[in-house]
Amino acid sequence: MCSPRALSVSLSLFLLLALVSAQTKRSVWNTLTGSPPLVISHGGFSGIFPDSSDSAYILAAATSTPNAALWCDVQLTKDAVGICLPNLNLLNSTNIFGVFPNKTTSYLVNGESTAGYFSVDYSFEDLSTVTVTQGVFSRSPLLDGNNFIINTVDEVLKLVAPQTPGLWLNIQHDAFYSQHNLSMRSFVLAVSRRLHVSYISSPEAGFLRSITKRFNPKTTKLVFRFLNQEDTDPSTNQTYGSFLKNLTFIKTFASGILVPKGYIWPVDASLYLQPHTSLVSDAHKAGLEVFAADFSNDIVISYNYSFDPLAESLQFIDNGEFTVDGVLTDFPLTPSAAIDCFAHIGNNATRRDKTLIISKYGASGDFPACTNLAYNKAIQDGVDVLDCPVQLSKDGTPFCLKSIDLLESTTVAQTSFSDLAMSVPEIKSGRGIFSFNLTWSDIKGLTPSILAPFSKYTLFRNPKAKNAGTFLTLSDFLSLTKNQTSLSGVLIIVENAAYLAEKQGLSVTDVVIKALSNAGYDKPGSQKVYIQSTNSSVLLKFKEKTKYELVYQIDESVGDATNAAAEDIKTFASSVVINKNSVYPQNAGYVTTKTNIVEKLQASKLSVFVETFSNEFVSQAFDFFSDSTVEINSFIQGAGINGVITDFPKTAHRYSSKC
């Protein structure tokens, strides 16, 4: 059996870092009992380890709230041993095909013929050499090599005996087991005499009704599980949608209901939230607790959450109107942090962490980059430093845009300017439509296009606003920022200066200095101005003519820096931008180590800003649990960086106001 030591070094490290954020708070909750919501770990921490494996349960117990529950989908072997496995069909969650090749069978399951491997065909001894595997194919299979054995129900609690979280047994197919002369009722009654079972759920009303008189709801709560509204409960032949109309009937045999989260906050076909239903308040009025299911950090969620799973958890527990009584999740750390740390902090919470929050093209995770909408959203979301990558038009107007190539963030390819495409090897490989070939009048009439950095994973940002907003001149940008008391500074990014001067006769450095002076940023008492470039000669020119803070961007991954290199940077910059991989290098999606680059640079009195922190789970190492807040915490608490550069400033600002 795998011990906690089977956790990778990096996973153990970030587990500890993530827990730095967790502090228990006493608050009043809008749950049925007034207690904090329950975190139910679905097969343990099944978002990282294989569902129902020993390491999944151990990690879940270590990262959840103290009152959490470990979920076990109970299956019965042919000798009536209760085991924890996520599916009736063992094919996708174990290596049984390799142990018993070509032994598939077919059975009727709720009236449908299903082929595969079933526990009813094997004794527990037969399954002793079968191991649990990751059944969600979008997750990493690399941890399957730990040879996780199949756990009995009794063994699950033994794994985490010191922490003694609650045990939740889910009985999904009582009718199926009855057809094979196995009694789930007898098993549940027997196991409850040996172990303390906190919750028993089932989508079969008949099963719960058969045991309701045998359990004291003060010690073991029975929960009726809803499946899709059009599905039918095999024990009553009623659809789950019809049960919604008779909550008082459910109360006669259960203490609560477990429903897919869409029952509470429906999502339309475009993945946007609809108004919440009255289910939680209706159930509470009927005396039923409400548990919400289907929480996972590595699936596509409503665009309203900006790819942030913590925001989704908060929507269900801290929306100002109701609180669900618990959530069923593959990633228990996230709702645990929401409950213990981030709920009830309010919009005007005092900043507790002073690490700079620097925007990446404004809030470009929510709106097209460098538009008025992206900038205003970033300010609203609590950014400290707002950025403007300065480009120049043909007539010399400086404006803010992600890239000198208009193809990257506009729909210019669909306009009459498409014939201006050309190759400029000094700037980039491949063809582009460059800003210096269009006048500002031409450019401001272009339609913005929202960035899609993870389109290869079919993850796209806020489709409703994909072409929204207008572009700003540098002067307009500075007028906007000058009036924002919440901002501590502006970041002006200057690239391609040599090419523009030599080939186009445009001096971007002089234009920037003049615009900043005209806006009053060279006067005492103004917000701080940061000038960033990958070119040291550009920064030296600004150093000669201004007193702004200079930021050197290292545009490649670096894991170390000699003292001489750091001191050389110090001659033309006071801050450095590096990428995330320079701090925590990855291999196959996992962090391999923590470098000393941050310490080396800071030892030379250089501030270290790191980019780019995005909410999309594919942008994060597996070690960060597909949670952008855990990633931010790990870089700030674990690496001690001075600033986060992010396209979702709201996430970083919420972190800085934690607990």
Q: Are residues 131 and 169 in the same domain?
A: yes
Name the band, by pLDDT with cuts 50, 70 and 90, for residue 13: very low
Placement of tokens 């400086």 in the chain: 398
Q: Are residues 414 and 487 in the same domain?
A: yes
Q: Does residue 21 belong to any structural domain of this protein?
A: no
What is the amino acid identity at position 637? Q
The CA–CA distances, whole Å, from 329 to 189, 228, 293, 312, 407 equal 26, 18, 7, 12, 40
Q: Are residues 363 and 296 in the same domain?
A: no
- Tell the burial category of 352 from Cβ atoms under 10 Å away from its Cβ (0-12, 13-18, 19+): exposed
Q: What is the pLDDT of residue 277?
A: 98
Domain that holds residue 412: 356-656
Dist. CA 206–CA 201, nearest whole Å: 12
Across 43-63, average pLDDT: 96
Across 70-78, average pLDDT: 98
Name the pairing type of β-strands 586-587 and 590-591: antiparallel
214 or 351, greater pLDDT: 214
Placement of tokens 């009025």 in the chain: 285
The tally of domains found in the chain comes to 2
Q: What is the pLDDT of residue 110?
A: 85
Task: Specify whether the CB–CB gap between 65 and 340 falls below 8 A.
Answer: yes
Among 318, 342, 366, the domain boundary falls at 342
Q: Are residues 280 and 368 in the same domain?
A: no
Name the pairing type of β-strands 232-233 and 166-170: unpaired
Q: Are residues 311 and 428 in the same domain?
A: no
Task: Write the DSSP assignment of 378-434 as a string of letters.
Answer: HHHTT-SEEEEEEEE-TT--EEE-S-SBGGGTB-GGGSGGGGG-EE-TTT-SSEE-B
The string of pLDDT tens digits covering residues 216-247 is: 999 999 999 999 999 999 999 999 999 999 99
Q: Are residues 450 and 307 in the same domain?
A: no
Q: Are residues 381 and 437 in the same domain?
A: yes
Dist. CA 606–CA 19, nearest whole Å: 29
3-state SS, residue 239: strand
Taking each continuous run of H as one helix and of E as one strand, the counts in the chain are 24, 28
φ and ψ of 279, to 5 deg: -60, -45
463 or 347, greater pLDDT: 463
The percent of residues above 70 in pLDDT, for the chain, comes to 95
Sign of CA dihedral 300, 302, 303, 305: negative
Q: Does residue 23 belong to any structural domain of this protein?
A: no
Q: Does residue 10 belong to any structural domain of this protein?
A: no
Task: Give the pair of three-digit tokens for residue 651.
Answer: 């996430």
Name the band, by pLDDT with cuts 50, 70 and 90, for residue 1: very low
3-state SS, residue 586: strand
Q: Are residues 513 and 632 in the same domain?
A: yes
Q: Are residues 290 and 167 in the same domain?
A: yes
Q: CATH number of the domain that 503 lies in?
A: 3.20.20.190
The string of pLDDT tens digits covering residues 112-146 is: 899 999 999 999 999 999 999 999 988 988 988 78
The long-range contacts involving 312-320, CB below 8 angstroms and separated by at least 24 positions, are 313/338, 313/339, 314/338, 314/342, 314/343, 315/265, 316/37, 316/261, 316/264, 316/265, 316/292, 317/29, 317/37, 317/343, 318/342, 318/343, 318/344, 319/276
- Tell the burial category of 3 from Cβ atoms under 10 Å away from its Cβ (0-12, 13-18, 19+): exposed
Q: Are residues 281 and 395 in the same domain?
A: no
Is the preceding peptide bond at 612 cis, omega within 30 degrees of 0?
A: yes
The number of angstroms, rounded, from the C-alpha of 295 to the middle of its chain's C-alpha atoms is 11
Dist. CA 476–CA 465, nearest whole Å: 22
Across 569-583, average pLDDT: 98
Residue 4 pLDDT exceeds 50: no
Residue 359 pLDDT exceeds 60: yes
The string of pLDDT tens digits covering residues 261-280 is: 999 999 999 999 999 999 99
Dist. CA 331–CA 630, nearest whole Å: 12
Q: What is the pLDDT of residue 588?
A: 92
Q: Does residue 631 belong to any structural domain of this protein?
A: yes
Q: Are residues 423 and 283 in the same domain?
A: no
Q: Does residue 485 belong to any structural domain of this protein?
A: yes
CA atoms within 13 A on the CB side of 133: 17
* Residue whose C-alpha is closest to residue 634's, from 4, 21, 55: 21
- Tell the burial category of 430 from Cβ atoms under 10 Å away from its Cβ (0-12, 13-18, 19+): exposed
Task: Give the pair of three-digit tokens for residue 305.
Answer: 């959450």
Q: What is the pLDDT of residue 347?
A: 67
β-partners of residue 70 are 41, 167
Q: What is the pLDDT of residue 21?
A: 43
Across 508-536, average pLDDT: 96
Residues 6+ apart with CB under 8 A from 587: none
Task: Specify whether the CB–CB gap between 84 and 72 falls below 8 A.
Answer: yes
HEC string for 50-104? CCCCHHHHHHHHHHCCCCCEEEEEEEECCCCCEEECCCCEHHHCECHHHHCCCCC
The CA–CA distances, whole Å, from 454 to 82, 300, 451, 618, 644 equal 42, 12, 9, 8, 20
Q: Does residue 297 belong to any structural domain of this protein?
A: yes
Task: Write the DSSP assignment of 173-221 as a string of letters.
Answer: -HHHHHHTT--HHHHHHHHHHHS---EEEES-HHHHHHHGGGS-TTTSE
Q: Does residue 15 belong to any structural domain of this protein?
A: no
Among 308, 342, 376, the domain boundary falls at 342
Give the Cα-Cα-Cα angle 394, 396, 400 (nearest 5 degrees). Answer: 95
The string of pLDDT tens digits covering residues 185-207 is: 999 999 999 999 999 999 999 99
Mean pLDDT for the chain overall: 93
The CA–CA distances, whole Å, from 240 to 205, 224, 232, 247, 283 equal 10, 10, 6, 11, 15
The CA–CA distances, whole Å, from 277 to 309, 321, 581, 605, 621 equal 21, 12, 43, 54, 36
Task: Specify whether the CB–CB gap between 82 and 152 falls below 8 A.
Answer: yes
CA atoms within 13 A on the CB side of 370: 30
Residue 581 pLDDT exceeds 50: yes
Task: Give the pair of three-digit tokens for residue 390.
Answer: 């300065």
Residue 455 pLDDT exceeds 80: yes
Task: Give the pair of three-digit tokens for residue 379.
Answer: 């300010």
Across 593-613, average pLDDT: 97
Q: Does residue 18 belong to any structural domain of this protein?
A: no
Task: Specify whether the CB–CB gap between 448 and 471 falls below 8 A.
Answer: yes
The number of angstroms, rounded, from the C-alpha of 83 to the middle of its chain's C-alpha atoms is 31
Task: Write the DSSP assignment of 316-347 as a string of letters.
Answer: HH-SSS---SEEEES-THHHHHIIIIITT--T
* Residue whose C-alpha is closest to residue 453's, from 384, 369, 552: 369
Strand spans (E) along 569-606 = 575-579, 586-587, 590-591
8 or 468, greater pLDDT: 468
Dist. CA 272–CA 524, nearest whole Å: 46
The string of pLDDT tens digits covering residues 295-348 is: 999 999 999 999 999 999 999 999 999 999 999 999 999 999 999 999 998 766
HEC string for 102-125? CCCEEEEECCEEEEECEHHHCCCC
Q: What is the pLDDT of residue 27?
A: 63
The CA–CA distances, whole Å, from 244 to 30, 257, 287 equal 21, 10, 14
Q: Are residues 524 and 452 in the same domain?
A: yes
